[in-house]
Each structure stands twice: as C-alpha cells, then as structure tokens.
Amino acid sequence: MRVYVDFLNELAQKNLLDFSAIENWWIERVREYFRSHPLELKRESFRSKPFGLKVDPSKSIRSIVADLIEAAFSRQRECPGVMVAGAVMQHLVGAKIKTALPDVKVAHKGFSVADAPGGRKGDFLIGDTAIHVTTAPTEALIRKCCDNLAQSLRPLVITTQSGVGGAIALAKNANVAERIDILEIVQFVATNVYEWCAFQQIKRSVTVRQLMETYNRIIDQCETDPSLRITMG
C-alpha cells in the first residue's frame, strides 16, 4: 500500500493524477474479477451482511456473547487478510466501557488505526489503566504493557479464552505476570450484562440490545465497513 501511495504521489508531482480515471480503472478490475469468479460474488454478498444476533432466553449470556465472537472468527476465516474478529472484539469492549461508564469520555478509534504502530498506550486509556484488546497476544503486546508500567499505568489485556494462556506465558517470560491483568473477553462482557440487568431474566434481552446499539453507534462513528454492525433478531 505504501508503494502504491508513493506511486500516486509521483503522478501528482507530474500533474498526471486523475482520481476519476484511477477509480474507474479499479472498478473495472473488480468487475473483471467477479466475471471470472461468480462464486466469489455470492460469498462477498454473504460477507457484506451485518452479524445477526438472537438473544435466546434459554441460553446463558456468556453463550450469546461467545456465539457473536465465534461468528466474527468464522467470517474472518472466510475473508483471509481481513481482521474481522479483532475489530468486533475491540468495539464490543468499547461499547461495554461506554455503557458501564456513561460519564467518562472514551476515545474510540477505527480498528486499523488502533492496531497501527505509534505512540498509543493502548486501545483504550481509562483513568490510569491502559486496555489492550487482542485476538492473539504477542511479545510486542507485552512490551507495550511493560512500557505502560514504566509510565505508571496499569495494563489490562482482554483476549480470547485460548489467548489467556498465551498472554500469561508471555508475561511470565517478561517477569511481569503479577503486574498485568489478563481477562477473557466473554466473561468480561457477560459479567457486566448480569449486573446491568440486576440479574433479572426479564431485563436481559433489553440490556443486551442496549449494549449492541451502543456497539453499532461506535461502528458507524469509527468504521467504514457496515458489515461489522450487529442486527438483533
């Protein structure tokens, strides 16, 4: 992508940059691709749909949240190179924080922005806590957590159930396991839902719907891909 941007800048310097011609060229390449791959067109139609979420009163809140995250991973497997699960997890955590702390200003960023290298202390900075949301903890993430500690911040890693063990192992290798909180995302979200609905079955579906509406507002604000939205059945 950087090479392509450099190429466009070179065209601009030579007064040869024509955005309409470039756009039309790419549109034609897409049309050519789908003319030769009709099955992919059907798949893309499927991928462009928002996630569907049905609040089944017979299922636990944990199962409902887990089903949503698994749907994100499933779509990601269908779309190699597109980090769908990471985006869903990040904005779901953002929605949870915003719902839990309505009076606190929370900075929400697009997933690609939050994931880019730079000076960001975490995906969210709330009080003295730097929150990192990840599908797969890495040594680079633990180094960020160490930087947080050096800046008197408390790192909190939120990841998948399978990612918890890896994060703990990496933190132990860096001798900071006792200084970093590592939580599993489904339980992180489900616990608050129970608290918000006062542990009453009649309020659970309404509470989940409110959380998802907050999530969708964040998607509309931060992302350009409407398929990341969630529709409630």
| pLDDT tens figures, 58-109 | 899 999 999 999 999 998 888 777 789 999 999 999 999 999 999 999 988 8
Task: Establish how many alpha carbons lie within 13 A of residue 204's alpha carbon, considering only the half-sphere containing its beta carbon.
Answer: 19
pLDDT band at residue 115 using 50, 70 and 90 as cut-offs: very low
Residue 168: partners with Cβ closer than 8 Å, 6 or more residues away: 177, 182
Average pLDDT over residues 218-233: 90
What is the average pLDDT value for the chain, to the nearest integer? 89
| pLDDT tens figures, 16-51 | 999 999 999 898 888 887 677 665 555 555 556 889
Tokens at residue 105, please?
Answer: 């200003």
